Amino acid sequence: MAESPHVVAADHRTFVLESLLAVPVGLLGGSASALFLWALDRVTAARWQQPWLLWFLPAVGFAVGWLYHRFGRSAGRGTHLILEQIRTPGTGVPLRMAPLVLLGTLATHLCGGSAGREGTAVQMGASLASELARRCELSIESARILLLAGVAAGFGSVFGTPLAGAVFALEVLALGRLRYRALVPLLLASMVGHLTCLAWGTQHMAFVINRSDPARLYAALDLTLIAQIAGAAVVFGLVSRGFAAGTHTVQAAFARWVAYAPLRPAIGGVLVIGLVFATGHRDYLGLGVSSPDPTAVTLLSAFNPGGAHDWSWAGKFLFTIVTLGSGFKGGEVTPLFFIGATLGHVLAGFGHVPVDLFAGLGLIAVFAGATKTPFACTLLGVELFGAYYAPYFALACFIAVFASGRSGIYHAPHPGGPAPNGLNSAKLPKSPP
């Protein structure tokens, strides 16, 4: 039976409205990311110049924990709340999430906590988008799409990868739950967010897989290289699985043994300081993308021969699960980039293949395995490194996802069946919990 013309017209109007609203979502998300990245550069530089700030990590952890304990309420659940509000719509994401996660992440990085940045950008974009949806009194289905647009704007703008940002939002949060009409608003929000972030003067880190030497130029169907990449992808997936399990285990242990929530990151800060003394250096603090120390192992150095040690990936792995598992704020993606790139660097030595290629494959594949987003991570590889190795990107990401098992770093229920009657036409409550 054909749909009524009135239903089709209403769907078209809704689609246009969602696409139009994606533009201000992109402007808000991109501006928030630009502010965050600017401030993150400043606090990171301050930590480099003042190494003694590390000693304040436990105190800062307690302060951030108390701030969330006193004022956070549902916002303290971070990305998990966003997942639930998309999959099981309720009151939306509170606006307070944006300033709280911004302050919490900057404080974490100021004193050396090993965390990322995508979680902050995604949470800011989602909370701003949710507030816009409430003010426009959108239906829950449209509000869900706008919330996804906020996620896309945050991810796309913070990494400078608008296409991957849009597909990431759809793939990790709502694949199979929304019609693909959502992809247009998501693309608009992600692209506008990226352009807005650039317009504020933000400069993204450039990653390069060098193809200038003909001796390193591989044919698109090199069977030996395919086998080597497949083997490495299995390792990437297993490490992704270990990271997700480790993070959840540490979170559960802190929740079980430390009843007062603000004490958890305080104890985590003490443990991070202990890890610094145990390893003898500070390479695994903060983002780890770059360092003023030319001898330090960083995300960028992993693309160069001799730029990482055999166990660099394990060091960042341990520092990050302690930092995030104890309750510090930030994100997992940039640490996963570091872990994957340094692991790829090590694996390249076994196969006598280009270090930069396997570092790039590890960067995207470990992330894919941890988040279960092989399509988005393939596109991420294309946007970061170019399209030449796209088939290898896809191979590494899909095998890593398969090898990583069912569990990832994001938890949220996947309710089965259709939405309850009236869900799509219902309105969001005026205020969040």
Q: Which of 199, 228, 258 is the last residue of a domain?
A: 199
Higher pLDDT: 266 or 223? It is 266
Residue 417 forms part of a structural domain? no
Q: What is the pLDDT of residue 238?
A: 97
- For 124-169, the pLDDT digits (tens) are 999 999 999 999 988 888 888 999 999 999 999 999 999 999 999 9
Q: Give pLDDT, residue 427.
A: 52
Q: What is the pLDDT, as a whole number, of residue 211?
A: 53
Q: Which two tokens stand for residue 329?
A: 């704020």
Does the residue 108 lie in any domain? yes
Q: Does 171 share its domain with 266?
A: no
* Same-domain status, 327 and 382: yes
Specify if 206 maps to a domain.
no
Scan for tokens 């510090």, then name that residue: 328
Per-residue pLDDT, 6: 46
Predicted confidence band at 357 (pLDDT cuts at 50, 70, 90)? very high
Do 191 and 283 share a structural domain?
no
- pLDDT at residue 426 greater than cutoff 90: no
**Average pLDDT rounded to a whole number, residues 186-205:** 91
In a domain, residue 415? The reply is: no
Specify the long-range contacts of residues 414-419, CB closer than 8 Å, at least 24 apart. 414/87, 415/87, 415/88, 419/141
In this structure, the answer to whether residues 189 and 218 fall within a common structural domain is no
Residue 146 within any structural domain of the chain: yes
- Confidence (pLDDT) at 417: 35
The band of 345, judged by pLDDT with boundaries at 50, 70 and 90, is: very high
Give residue 421's pLDDT.
Answer: 31
Question: Domain range spanning residue 313?
Answer: 214-403
* Confidence class for position 213, pLDDT limits 50, 70, 90: very low
pLDDT digits (tens, 9 = 90+) for 25-71: 999 999 999 999 999 999 999 999 999 999 999 999 999 999 999 99
Q: What is the pLDDT of residue 418?
A: 36
SS in 3 state form for the chain?
Answer: CCCCHHHHHHHHHHHHHHHHHHHHHHHHHHHHHHHHHHHHHHHHHHHHHCHHHHHHHHHHHHHHHHHHHHHHHHHHHCHHHHHHHHHCCCCCCCCCHHHHHHHHHHHHHHCCCCCCCHHHHHHHHHHHHHHHHHHCCCEHHHHHHHHHHHHHHHHHHHHCCHHHHHHHHHHHHHCCCCCHHHHHHHHHHHHHHHHHHHHCCCCCCCCCCCCCCHHHCCCCCCHHHHHHHHHHHHHHHHHHHHHHHHHHHHHHHHHHHCCCCCHHHHHHHHHHHHHHHHHCCCCCCCCCCCCCCCCCCCCCHHHCCCCCCCCHHHHHHHHHHHHHHCCCCCCCHHHHHHHHHHHHHHHHHHHCCCHHHHHHHHHHHHHHHHHCCHHHHHHHHHHHHCCCCHHHHHHHHHHHHHHCCCCCCCCCCCCCCCCCCCCCCCECCCCCC
Residues 122 and 190 in one domain: yes
Q: Does any domain span residue 427?
A: no
Boundary residue ending a domain (199, 230, 258): 199
Mark whether 164 and 264 lie in a shared domain. Answer: no
Judge if 235 and 158 occupy the same domain: no
- The answer to whether residue 221 scores a pLDDT higher than 80 is no
Above 50 in pLDDT, residue 7?
A: no
pLDDT given at position 126: 93
Q: 370-424 pLDDT, tens per residue?
A: 999 999 999 999 999 988 889 999 999 999 999 999 888 885 434 333 333 333 4
- For the stretch 304-336, pLDDT in tens is 999 999 999 999 999 999 999 999 998 899 999
Q: Which two tokens stand for residue 6?
A: 């009135």
Q: What is the structure's pLDDT at 267?
A: 97
CB atoms < 10 A from the CB of 9, how many? 10
Residue with more model confidence, 115 or 432:
115
Q: What is the band of 183 on the pLDDT scale with cuts at 50, 70, 90?
A: confident
Query: For the whole model, what pTM was predicted?
Result: 0.90
Q: Name the more confident of 92 and 128.
A: 128
**Domains held by the chain: number:** 2
**CA 113 – CA 411 distance, rounded (Å):** 23
Same domain, 118 and 238: no
Q: Is 208 left (phi over 0), alpha (psi -120 to 50) or beta?
A: beta
- Residue 239 sits in a domain whose CATH number is 1.10.3080.10
Task: Give me the percent of the chain exceeding a pLDDT of 90.
Answer: 68
Does some domain include residue 367? yes
Judge if 284 and 357 occupy the same domain: yes
Quick one: 195 and 252 in the same domain? no
- Flag whether 74 is in a domain: yes
175 and 292 together in one domain = no
Residues 127 and 190 in one domain: yes
Sole residue written with tokens 């950008």: 121
